[in-house]
Amino acid sequence: MWSRLRDRDHGRTALAGAASATAAANTLVHTDDAHASDERADPHRTAAFFDVDNTLMRGASIYHFARGLAARDLFTTRDLLRFGWGQMVFRISGSEQRNHINAAREAALAFVAGHKVDDLVTLCEEIYDETMADRIWEGARRLVRRHLDAGQRVWLVTATPVELADIIKRRLGLTGALGTVAESVDGVYTGRLVGDLLHGPAKAEAVRALAELENLDLTRCTAYSDSYNDLPLLSLVGHPNAVNPDDDLQRHAHTHGWPVHDFRRHRTALTVGLPSAMAGAVAGGVLVGLLRRRRPL
């Protein structure tokens, strides 16, 4: 039985990665044809992959999105705190189990079931400008600019919904975004995910699938993350980097000689221990809350 469950979970992970990579590659074809064609002539193309929550942005993007929904009376602040805290406890205690991830997977984006994709995109654009634009780490901006100035592609790789990730990408002038893909039919959300949340191993699957589609040489690519959960992604590329790392990732990075970038000004024990916990917590907890409190958009 356990073998079948592992196979099923791996299948969902692979499906999530493939769906995210395909959606991102299709966007590239439509919006960046000339640039993509030029790069395909280079057999050793490289790219940089950035996690979003606590790596590129202070805090968790889905949490800030939920705050924006709360401001529009689509979600209450009380629910936001209750569900976010409940999931954070699991992360801090280290007792997060597969069923917690499964619960987050089943809840993610269910609150928009029956609503149009375009409506959510409009909300995402408004909320990004209101609550997220000033939360991008300046140090992370410099890292991004370094890769862009070198002529490299820069991709976001995040568990946040791909619609929100795509807006962050566009606002920052990046190449593409790999995010969690929600199923839609005729432009309307069904309330189901395609595969799994783009979390942990699914991020590595997405990058691997994208590399195949775009002929990237992963040994020449770079990745940045704050969380030990992203070790599969970081280990996939030739140049892994830890950014504002949690304790486990910091130890791993030091042991293996990986570069460590820390943009946090206050290094108390609490702020060192909580970033990845908060980032992952709200990805599940907030979305569970949204599911329970969803109202018409």
Residues marked active site are found at 51, 53
* The residue count for the chain: 297
Report the C-alpha gap between 267 and 209 in whole angstroms: 37
Report the C-alpha gap between 251 and 253 in whole angstroms: 5
The separation between CA 265 and the C-alpha centre of its own chain, rounded to angstroms, equals 23
Contact 61/279 with Cβ under 8 angstroms? no
Report the C-alpha gap between 118 and 35 in whole angstroms: 27
Q: Where are the beta strands (DSSP E) in the chain?
A: 47-50, 153-161, 176-180, 182-185, 188-193, 222-225, 239-243, 260-261
Within 13 Å of residue 95, how many CA atoms lie on the same side as its CB? 6
Report the C-alpha gap between 25 and 28 in whole angstroms: 5
- Beta-sheet pairing, 188-193 with 182-185: antiparallel
Report the C-alpha gap between 207 and 178 in whole angstroms: 8
